[in-house]
Each structure stands twice: as structure tokens, then as C-alpha cells.
Amino acid sequence: MTAANDSTDHPDPIRDPLAEVVARHRQNTSGDVATYIPERATVDADGFGAALVSVHGKVHRAGDADRPFTIQSVSKPFVYAMAVSELGLEEVHRHVGVEPSGEPFNAISLDPDTGRPDNPLINAGAIVTSALVDGSTANERFERVRTFLSACAGRELDLDVEVFASESANGDRNRALAHLARSSGALRRSVDDATEVYFRQCSVIVTTEDLAVMGATLANSGVNPLTKRQVMSERAATITLSIMATCGMYDHSGEWMARVGLPAKSGVGGGIVAVQPAQFGIGVHSPRLDSWGNSVRGSAVLQSLSQDFDLHLFDHPNEPRSPIVSWETDGGVTVGVLRGEFDLISAEAVIELMLEAVAGGSRTIRLDVTGVTRSRTGARHLFQVISRHLEARDIDIVVEGNLD
């Protein structure tokens, strides 16, 4: 066997550019490690890693992808997903809103009318959210949170007890936020109980690979792509990604969405998780932070990846993808073959062709949808409306395959 045939010799077309982007930003040592708790000041500021995990479960790593760090605020969207998954959005929404606050993460952002924190990604909202987790003691609730975060990561995650002790010993501001949330009725447990679970959830140890798997779980409608387990409801994944898109990068979230275009969440430990829905999750870590509290090199890596690989969610081709493989009419019978995703714009195109075919004299329309990989509810509805309308006019509509 020649060297070229050796599988270890092939380029990894995802890992290699990821490693290149990490190398490109390695010299950037701007920013400061968070020092809000004494324990943070001891971390190695130079650690720098990235990992990307696709919804197919493929893992690509670069730099110090296996270096452990505490998850901090990156836990917040996941605990929110857990609460929404277990209690439903409406119940969670009674306690915490979904509006960007435009304020720093530890600001006193409570709605003046309802007393609810603006969103679950600022500290007040995150403390209220962890208090929604069921369990009879703080210990039991944290165990449930830890188990959930572990299910998202696809492996057992542990607590950094020293970071937890330091968070707790220096957590007066978070306790003050909890007191305010409690006095307004948003917090449903005692301040000590709620903040204990919150401090612990922030102190869970992860790697960038864990963050990438957790992000890929959100990208994959709540199914962990490694374990294939549905760890949260599909709706919880959708709502969580929406909140990450609007509130995930502290008071820099609008700028982030405009420039990078991926829902993301960062933490003071220097970790960031970013998600390309239906495609992959990315985890990055580098402890030095900018003035908003986001990892400097982590943000730079994601910005570069977004530019280099056209990842911005709102980038789109000029022409919508056509679902129509072929469309032919012969002797009053029209046969159409569809493939890929049957969405609203696909339904619009197909309906137009169906009406044209009928106007041109077709009495039968046969659609082969065996190549359709996903059909959207709205698109199916439009198609059913037009099918019923044509059938009432004695046109035969025959569908081969399943549009559900």
C-alpha cells in the first residue's frame, strides 16, 4: 500500500481549516482573564482550543480541544432547554422572559411590571431558571442538572469543587439578584437553595469538544448526535437557539449576530458554544476576555470561520433551491419528481406547475416524492389545499411516497 492510500495520510477538510484558524489567532493575547473570583486568576491564560461536531456525529478538534475549563454561563441555555423541555414554554415564561436586556450579565434586569428577569441568559434569569428544575433538595436538583448537561455532552461531566466554593464564597451579587427576583415572585425557591444550584451548574467542567457536542445536540433538534438520545424536546432546542441568537453574547449580542450570524453563548471561563442549526455545533475556549466578557480569541475564531465558510445564518443563495428534479407532461398526464426539502417556497413552485399543467389540459398529476427528505407543515398544508381543490374538479392527484 502506498502512503497516499493510507487513511491517516488524508487531509481532514474540516479539522485542517479549523486548526488553521486557531493558529491564525494564537498570537492574539489581548483581553484579560476574569478575576471576579480569586480561583479564576489561577487559570492558564494561554489555553486555546476548538472543536466542531456535526449532526452526523463526526468530531473535529484543533488546538487544546481537550483542555478542561468550567462551563460558567454556557450552562445557562442548556438549563433553560431542560426547563422548557420539562415544563413547557408557557410555564417557564411566567418566571423568565425572552427579551434581550442590552445590559451586562449581572445587571438588575427585572421587568418593572411583572418582576420577571428579561431572559434566561443574564444571571437573574439563569438563577430563576435553575430554580424551576424539579427535585426536593438543592443537591437533588443539581444532580438532575448535571445529568442533563452530561446527556447533552454525551459523557459524564463533573463538578470543579474549588471553583464552586469560590463562586459561593464570592457570590453576594448573585444572591442579591436572587433576593430581588424572589421579592418580585419570579424565583420559586429560597435564595440559598437557588444560588447553590446555580453556582454549581457554573462550575461543571467541560472541554471544547463537550461544548461542540452540546451545540450539535441543539443543532440536531435536541438529539445528541453521538449517543442518538433525544435529550430535550425539539421545541426546547428551537426556543433555546432563538434566545442564544438574541441574548447569547452578553450586551454584544446584536453586533455578534450581525457579524457572525450564529446563535452562540459565551461564559467567563472563556468558552463559547456556537450552533449552525441542522448542521453542527462548535466549541471554542480561550480564557482572555474582551470588555463584554466574551473570549477574545474564541470570538475571533468564530468570526473567521463564519467568513471563511459562509456560515452566517442569513446568507442565502439568490435563487431558492429547486425541489423539482423533473416535470413532464405526456397525453394528459403530468409527472413531477421532487427531492430534498419540501418547504414553503418549494410548495409555491410545485403548485404553480400543477395549475399550469391543468390549464394545459392535464387530467392526472403524478408526483414522485420518494426523494423528499423533509416536508414542512406549512408546505404540506398548501399542497393539500390545492390538491383538494383540483380533485373537486376531477383531476387525479397521485402521490408516490410520503410527504408526512
Among 17, 267, 283, 323, binds ligand GLU (CB under 6 A): 267
Number of residues that bind ligand GLU (CB under 6 A): 11
Which residue in the list 133, 145, 204, 268 is annotated as catalytic? 268
**Sheet hosting strand 333-342, strand order edge to edge:** 324-330, 333-342, 364-375, 396-400
Query: At residue 297, what are phi and psi to the nearest 5 degrees?
Result: -70, -35
Which residue in the list 130, 250, 273, 275 is annotated as catalytic? 250
Is residue 168 involved in binding ligand GLU (CB under 6 A)? no
User: Nearest residue to ligand GLU, using CB?
Assistant: 73
Between 73 and 306, name the residue whose CB sits nearer to ligand GLU: 73
CB of 34 to ligand GLU, least distance (A): 8
CA angle 264, 268, 269 (to 5 degrees): 100
Is residue 207 involved in binding ligand GLU (CB under 6 A)? no
* 333-352 binders of ligand GLU (CB under 6 A): none
Is residue 109 involved in binding ligand GLU (CB under 6 A)? no
- 76 labelled catalytic: yes
Strand 396-400 to 364-375 pairing: parallel
* 212-241 binders of ligand GLU (CB under 6 A): none
- 268 labelled catalytic: yes
Among 69, 105, 148, 164, binds ligand GLU (CB under 6 A): 105
Between 154 and 269, name the residue whose CB sits nearer to ligand GLU: 269
CB of 101 to ligand GLU, least distance (A): 13
Between 171 and 323, name the residue whose CB sits nearer to ligand GLU: 171
CB of 293 to ligand GLU, least distance (A): 6
CB of 211 to ligand GLU, least distance (A): 13
CB of 297 to ligand GLU, least distance (A): 17
CB 304 within 8 A of CB 21: yes
Between 70 and 276, name the residue whose CB sits nearer to ligand GLU: 70
Between 164 and 383, name the residue whose CB sits nearer to ligand GLU: 164
Which residue in the list 198, 204, 231, 273 is annotated as catalytic? 198
Residue located via cell numbers 425572552 = 98
Is residue 174 involved in binding ligand GLU (CB under 6 A)? yes
Here the cell at position 257 is 449576530
Please state, in angstroms and rounded to a whole number, the distance separating the CA atoms of residues 315 and 15.
23
* 70-99 binders of ligand GLU (CB under 6 A): 72-73
CB of 76 to ligand GLU, least distance (A): 8
CB of 37 to ligand GLU, least distance (A): 8
Among 39, 64, 118, 167, binds ligand GLU (CB under 6 A): 167
- 80 labelled catalytic: no
Between 72 and 375, name the residue whose CB sits nearer to ligand GLU: 72
CB of 191 to ligand GLU, least distance (A): 14
Among 21, 51, 262, 268, binds ligand GLU (CB under 6 A): 268
Here the cell at position 4 is 497516499
Output the 3-class SS for the chain.
Answer: CCHHHCHHHCCCCCHHHHHHHHHHHCCCCCCEECCCCHHHHHCCCCCCEEEEEECCCCEEEEECCCCCEECHHHHHHHHHHHHHHHHCHHHHHHHCCCCCCCCCCCCCCECCCCCCECCCCCHHHHHHHHCCCCCCCHHHHHHHHHHHHHHHHCCCCCECHHHHHHHHHCCHHHHHHHHHHHHCCCCCCCHHHHHHHHHHHHCEEECHHHHHHHHHHHHCCCECCCCCCECCCHHHHHHHHHHHHHHCCHHHHHHHHHHCCCCEEECCCCEEEEEECCCEEEEEECCEECCCCCEHHHHHHHHHHHHHCCCCCCCCCCCCCCCEEEEEEECCEEEEEEEEEECHHHHHHHHHHHHHHHHCCCCEEEEEEEEEEEECHHHHHHHHHHHHHHHCCCCEEEEECCCC
Between 51 and 122, name the residue whose CB sits nearer to ligand GLU: 122
Binding site for ligand GLU (CB under 6 A): 72-73, 105-106, 123, 167, 174, 202, 267-268, 293
Q: Which residues are catalytic?
A: 73, 76, 198, 250, 268
